[in-house]
Amino acid sequence: MRPAAPRRSLLAALTPLLGGPFAPAGARAQVAGAQTASPAAAAEWRFGALYPLSGAPALLGDESFRGLEMAVEERNAAGGLLGRPIRLIRADAADQAAAVAETRRLIGAERASILFGSYASPLSFAVTQLSEAQGIPFFELGAVADSITERGFRQLYRTCPRASDFARVAAEAVAEVLPGLLGTARNALRVGILHEDGLYGSSVSELQTSRLRELGIEVVERIGYPLRVTDLAPALQRLREASTDILLHTALQNDVILLFRNLREAGWRPRMIIGSGAGYSLTDTARTLGTAMDGVMNVDFTQFAISERAAPGNGAFAEAYKRRYGADPRSGHSLANYFGARVAFDGIQRAGGTEKDRLRAAMLATDIAEGTTPTGWGAAFDERGQNTRARPWLAQWQDGRLVTIHPEAAAVAPPRARLGAD
């Protein structure tokens, strides 16, 4: 059972986050024609929260949900949304079939007027097809596959970066950070790409390959593997035989642990490993791998060692999280979902409610500058519903902490060339 923090203390911890781009109720201009609800007559808002809460992805699903939960509790403690309290209805999207079934339940029996989710790209791709057909706005706060927002949907808004953004930052790391760090010319680096072959891993790896080749960097191997892989030794043998210097790995948590076990067994490692995503940013992964994780880089959502100038309020969020749940955040997914929920609530506030056409007008009018929020992201939505001001950062595990190392404006430590503790 989660330890509960008093709502007043949680709100106090987040007070610095309540102004600026996320102004409270009534503080920002509304969409023309929008109506403000009367607090006395208002019923609660019923919003659905669709995340994997059981099975292999449950840890990150729960971490993502916590960020949304914090945003809802904060808003309710401040008087609600348009004077009405928010009721958050949880649904376990353990796999695609369960996700679709739970989406039907949320829209039907639970009468949810807005849906939030979902952490995983395959889940998001499936459930947003249904929510769009039903005319229910869906806020995607964590799934990154580009294809999610490339179907012409009008009721879908993604607040986080895309797979192509992850690929771009990884390629920038290889092209701009590693040559000087490793003392090797860019065109002499040999990059191997390893990825899970689902929608997430395939999207990121394909875009990494094309971007690296555009930069004139050799990709010597690109190897996919199935979701429930039990042995990566054959893939590592191919990478070793190709004289791989830099390994880019897009993976789930269990794959990361398996990779390092197989590397140890093979008695080999590349000069640098750059992960993509939550498998490499989870504190649980780092605890399991110990000093072997030292020096490993990762491209992911905003973490909790980043310049406050680039991400003001980041530290306040981490403190509020610890008050609420009794432990430090397990990854930046809670923060990303908190940010996305705040953007959504801001849009609903300006729309005067959840009516889909007014909400779309409000979301497309969103204008939050980068460098003004705890993620460092801003918010501006294109016609596809994609936030064009969200970006992942390059971080590195150093002495047990995941610290931001690039770009310089966000960095709290310089990059290190050493991989592993020995």
Percent of the chain with pLDDT over 90: 87
Percent of the chain with pLDDT over 70: 90
CATH number at residue 200: 3.40.50.2300
Range of the domain at 215: 164-300+395-406
250: closest CA among 121, 150, 375?
A: 121
**pLDDT digits over 224-261, tens only?**
999 889 999 999 999 999 999 999 999 989 999 999 99
126 and 176 housed in the same domain: no
Alpha carbon distance 171, 152 (integer Å): 28
Alpha carbon distance 105, 90 (integer Å): 11
Instruction: Please report the pLDDT score of residue 244 as a whole number.
Output: 98
Asked if 394 and 388 touch (Cβ cutoff 8 Å), the reply is: no
378 and 400 housed in the same domain: no
Instruction: Please check whether residue 422 lies inside any domain of the structure.
Output: no
Instruction: Please check whether residue 223 lies inside any domain of the structure.
Output: yes
401 and 256 housed in the same domain: yes
**pLDDT digits over 165-204, tens only?**
999 999 999 999 999 999 999 999 999 999 999 999 999 9
**Buried b vs exposed e over 237-250: b needs ≥16 C-beta within 10 Å?**
eebbebebbbbbbb
pLDDT at residue 27 greater than cutoff 50: no
322 and 193 housed in the same domain: no
Instruction: Please check whether residue 418 lies inside any domain of the structure.
Output: no
Alpha carbon distance 398, 404 (integer Å): 10
Instruction: Please check whether residue 326 lies inside any domain of the structure.
Output: yes
Q: In sequence order, what are the residues at sequence separation of 6 or more whose Cβ sits closer than 8 angstroms to the Cβ of residue 52?
A: 58, 60, 61, 92, 93, 94, 95, 99, 118, 119, 120, 123
Give the HSE-up count for residue 163: Cα atoms under 13 Å, Cβ half-sphere.
27
Instruction: Please report the pLDDT score of residue 56 as a whole number.
Output: 87
Its sign, for the CA torsion 107, 110, 340, 29, is positive
377 and 230 housed in the same domain: no
Alpha carbon distance 188, 246 (integer Å): 11
Instruction: Please report the pLDDT score of residue 277 as a whole number.
Output: 87
Asked if 278 and 174 touch (Cβ cutoff 8 Å), the reply is: no
251 and 282 housed in the same domain: yes
Instruction: Please report the pLDDT score of residue 28 as a whole number.
Output: 47
Instruction: Please check whether residue 411 lies inside any domain of the structure.
Output: no
pTM of the entire structure?
0.92
20 and 156 housed in the same domain: yes
| Local confidence band at 270 (pLDDT 50, 70, 90 cut-offs) | very high
DSSP-assigned letters across all residues of 8-66:
HHHHHHTGGGSSTTS--TTSSPPPTT--PPPTTT---EEEEEEE--SSTTHHHHHHHHH
Instruction: Please check whether residue 417 lies inside any domain of the structure.
Output: no
Residue with tokens 């996305």: 340
Q: In sequence order, what are the residues at sequence separation of 6 or more whose Cβ sits closer than 8 angstroms to the Cβ of residue 400?
A: 286, 294
In angstroms, the Cα distances linking 22 to 204, 350, 418 are 31, 11, 41
**pLDDT digits over 318-361, tens only?**
999 999 999 999 999 999 999 999 999 999 999 999 999 999 99
Instruction: Please report the pLDDT score of residue 420 as a whole number.
Output: 83
368 and 335 housed in the same domain: yes
Cross-strand bridge partners of residue 87: 46
E runs forming strands in 244-359: 246-250, 272-276, 297-300
22 and 128 housed in the same domain: yes
194 and 338 housed in the same domain: no
pLDDT at residue 21 greater than cutoff 70: no
What average pLDDT does this structure show over 397-406? 97
**What angle in degrees, to the nearest 10, is found between the helix axes of 58-77 and 314-325?**
100
28 and 156 housed in the same domain: yes
Cross-strand bridge partners of residue 86: 45
Instruction: Please check whether residue 1 lies inside any domain of the structure.
Output: no
Asked if 233 and 265 touch (Cβ cutoff 8 Å), the reply is: yes
Q: What is the number of domains present in the chain?
A: 2
172 and 249 housed in the same domain: yes
Residue with tokens 């020096």: 295
pLDDT at residue 36 greater than cutoff 80: no
Alpha carbon distance 102, 192 (integer Å): 39
Instruction: Please report the pLDDT score of residue 399 as a whole number.
Output: 95
Instruction: Please check whether residue 221 lies inside any domain of the structure.
Output: yes
